[in-house]
A = this chain, B = another copy of it.
Amino acid sequence: MLNITLVNGFTLKKNEIIIEKMKVTIKDLAEKAGVSKTAVSFAFNNPKRISEETYKKIMKIAKEIGYSPDPVARILATKQTGTIGVLFPQAVSEVLQNPYISDLIRGIGTVCDKEGLALTLLSPMKGILNNTIQNAAVDGMIILGVDKDSSVHSAFKMRNMPYVAIDAKCNAEYINVGIDDRSMAESLMDVLLDNGHEKILFCALKPIALDLAEPDQSTTIDERQKGIQDSMRKHNLKENTLDSYTFIESETSFESSYRIAKQILQSEDRPTAIYCMGDIQAFGFYKAAAELDINIPEDLSVVSFDDLPVSGILYPELTAIHQPGYEKGVAATEILVKRIAGEDCKSVRLNANIVKRSSVAPAKK
């Protein structure tokens, strides 16, 4: 394409009616100011290196002609993008339906703001996670809900890119930020079993089908299942009793949870207690129960993981594992920033705790 440079600094593109403003570069500014490109560069990045006088002159002319350094060129030269990525295993539109994720991102965003970093939301390109890992222009990544796919980890290694996982394995070769899902799951199950519940429905988040041979199941769920079994053993229930419990999966949206809840609560032989893997699911059951005139907790006990701020809206108040979502985001990002700076870091296990409130009552006989 032929560019005709006009005197007034505009460019006329052949075959296009558009007249677009030409980018004013460091060279233009240097010429107009009668200094070298280096001087201009210093003016913007390291003013101490040049005299007060030339600094002022450069800045004055910069304003006049509307110059500011091109971010991309600067990135190429410095090898620093000044942004970190959050890698989701699913489309952004899916993932953001879960308020827990918002909480996580809030935490990540807090540190980014503090560090002057931008935050980019990344999801699989053409369904392939590794494409994204290879092509994202970021200094480091935080990965969510990706555990067992080791190709992910080697992709990071190939790019030599620092990354930190949230809610993945804690004993793995990468850095993870999480809680003790197993023992927390146990405590939550204890509450139900102590109250004599026998017909319990477990409501998990739908496992994510990636570009993997076998559909991935997050280790978070694995750990929680172990915790649930720990509790059963403690209560002298055979482990395989778990099979007689119902285990369902739902999407991570309120509407989907609600739909499933409605269906379940209308069944003949409905459970007396619901064990949710996320508040968003408890939302669905609360709504469905209200509509069906099923009282919580008299007719139905509900417990859940997360205890998000916004879940305070639920009435009666939810018995739940208080999950430090925001703090997870903060911790993971702080670690990532250190790793980008070349420091060594270790996995972190954050504290969680059970909050017993009024959504559980003894099972009716």
Contacts and interface: CB of A to CB of B under 8 A. Distances in A.
B121 A119 contact: yes
A312 B255 contact: yes
B110 A92 contact: yes
Interface string A165-200: 000000000000000000000000000000000000
A151 interface: no
B102 A20 contact: no
A163 to B, nearest CB: 15
Contacts of A315: 287, 290
Nearest to A112: B92
Contacts of A75: 72, 75-76, 137
B121 A109 contact: yes
A93 B109 contact: yes
A122 B106 CA distance: 13
A254 B309 contact: yes
A137 B82 CA distance: 10
Contacts of A357: none
B113 A91 contact: yes
Given A137-B71, A287-B315, A121 B120 contact: yes
B126 A116 contact: yes
Given A68-B159, A69-B135, A91-B110, 20 more contacts: A18-B342, A68-B135, A72-B79, A75-B137, A76-B76, A92-B105, A92-B106, A92-B109, A96-B106, A97-B309, A105-B121, A109-B121, A109-B123, A118-B122, A119-B120, A137-B137, A254-B309, A280-B310, A283-B313, A313-B314
